[in-house]
Structure 1
């Protein structure tokens, strides 16, 4: 028996599938497909907020430097504004890595619900529902690999 995918909720082997608390033999799955739900605008807004959080200190630093150059002030005031602008722009560097990691995780999870459906003799069955796009892709590919030999027989 070959195991194609295993996690605490899903098991896909060469002999069967366990998803959503139910067991199915591979020959019992007549057809398998997936659907994608509507986009979650709150996830997209969260990504935008993270992007703005990274850009705002850079914009403020650039604005401080522009103001320092455009204003006709003493040299010490100009230098203070330029150095302050540079420091403000550099302040984002340590935080940017953390925020970009959050953005990466947001894209891994996806912005919509994904479902795997199967057709059995009794009708259509929801096999899996998740908002984790990365996990969904692994499970769906494993299910396709498991079903390939069953189709060739």
Structure 2
């Protein structure tokens, strides 16, 4: 028996599938497909907020430098504003790494609810529902690989 995918909630082998608390032998699955739900605007807004959080200190630093150049300031004051603007821009670098990591995780998890459905003799059954796009892809590919040999028989 070949194991195609295993985690605490899902097991896909060459003989069967265990998902959503139910078990099916591969020949029982007549058809398998997936659906995508609507986008979660909350997730998209969160990504936008992260992007603005990364850019805001850079914009403030650039604005400080531009202000120092445009206004008729004494050399000492202009130099202090320019140095302050540059320091604000540089200070964001360590924080930006953390925020970009959060942004990456947001894209890994996705912005939609994803479902895997199967058709058996008794009707259509929901095999899995998740918003984790990365996990969904792994499970669905494993399910396709498990079903390939069954189709050829």
TM alignment of 1:35-74, pairs within 5 A: 35-74=35-74
| Matched length | 153
Partner of 1:72, secondary structure, is: coil
Aligned to 1:8: 8
Partner of 2:37, secondary structure, is: strand
Return the offset for 1:102.
0.2
TM alignment of 1:3-152, pairs within 5 A: 3-152=3-152
Once the two structures are superposed, what CA deviation does each residue of 1:115-151 show, in whole Å capped at 9, x if it has no partner?
0000000000000000000000000000000000000
Partner of 1:118, secondary structure, is: strand
Runs of 4+ in 1 over 6 A off after TM superposition: none
Once the two structures are superposed, what CA deviation does each residue of 1:39-98 show, in whole Å capped at 9, x if it has no partner?
000000000000000000000000000000011110000000000000000111000000
Return the offset for 1:106.
0.2
Partner of 2:5, secondary structure, is: strand
Q: Distance in 2 between matches of 1:5 and 1:104?
A: 24
Backbone CA RMSD of aligned residues: 0.3
Q: Distance in 2 between matches of 1:90 and 1:27?
A: 60
